[in-house]
Structure 1
């Protein structure tokens, strides 16, 4: 029994080939992205706002799709299993809320030339609020989203 558990532990160690494949694919994706950005003379407004030509309903769909992740899917499935179908109102109302928000506020944001929430905070208040928001969100993302995901993935 001891040999089997030792062998199983050794099989979980990443090899040099694994790291080469991982970092090679990462560098390839970054290289293609940089090449396309230089070729097209990439502007941040074109990247974030698709040249400001995207209709409001497509922006709402993009925001909703950006919020769905593996953590979201597993978490909502677990809550749905525990609480039942009643939890589905969260997703249904999120779609309706995003559609309404984009319909009413997207023209305002486009007129203000605001790309992100950090841009809005910088224009509404000052640069300190933008930096403060960014730092707080980084801490929240690491502590609330990434650490539990890593923990659950390691179990």
Structure 2
């Protein structure tokens, strides 16, 4: 059985090197600290993807280090919105093709404006969701910038 997800296919199509890391997951432990511990990384290396809606632009996505919190005001400003808010969990799958705890910044069913925390530049090893729970993709930070066509911004604190 192949564990290739849309996120993996996107990286393959760009010939970007990555490794897959599976881990045991459960509904109560989808938080960054738990996942980072299970895959042997620091929370700052694990980038979480969040799906939001802006009052002017509609749906957008943001990706930030796991040890930081998203700054909604900063994201609103860089995305051309007056305010942004998280979409409801029940909307995530319909919007992205992924479920909570498995949202990857790569391979969403639709291309949304995507904002990535600038600290990723130059990082040799980062981890993102592989597109399903229990699967992480390890790759270079600069490769994620290229693959995601991200706009880099200071959107977390």
Q: Which structure exhibits the higher relative contact order, with contacts defined as CA atoms closer than 8 Å and separated by 6 or more residues?
A: 2
Q: TM-score range by the shorter chain?
A: under 0.3
More helix by share: 1
Which structure dedicates a bigger proportion of its chain to strand?
2
Bigger Rg over Cα: 1
TM-score, length of structure 1 as denominator length? 0.25
